[in-house]
Amino acid sequence: MAKMVLLASFLSIGGNDLSDRTSKVELVAEIEDKDVTTFASLGWKEVLGGLASGSLGAVFKQDYAAAELDATMWPLFLTRTPQAFEVRADNAAAGPSNPKYTGFVLIKSWKPLAGSVGDVAEVDVSWPTSGAITRAVA
């Protein structure tokens, strides 16, 4: 069984490679369950799949310099429109052992400043995807 340690994951949002500012990334895809239980189910719950949805989570190291994280994300937040994203487990090109996941994400919140004395300035986000998430190996 192959194992992997995430050392150089790739994250792009709105065409901006944010990999060098990202210390955690999480892409979630899920399908809601719809209860179709009847008396014929004999006391067992039955479900069917409903709408699919997803979310993209990340932890960024904050930077306020020109062309850095805050200067990149603030305008994307203000657009109020879903932004293209791409994530890969490794920064290498997409392939059979390094699939890429793409779609659109709504940057519905941005926390430019958070932390206590002595903390690393980080931004922890979770945004909903908009439309389908696709998986490709090329």
Task: Report how far residue 14's alpha carbon sits from residue 73's, in angstroms, rounded to the nearest whole number.
Answer: 9
Contact 37, 45 (CB under 8 A): yes
Express each pLDDT in 9-21 by its tens digit. 999 999 999 999 9
Express each pLDDT in 29-64 by its tens digit. 999 999 999 999 999 999 999 999 999 999 999 999
CATH 2.40.30 fits 10-35+49-136, yes or no: yes
User: pTM for the complete prediction?
Assistant: 0.91
Given a cut of 70, whether residue 1 has pLDDT beyond it is no
- The reported pLDDT for the residue numbered 2 is 80
Question: For the chain, where are the alpha helices, taking DSSP H only?
Answer: 69-78
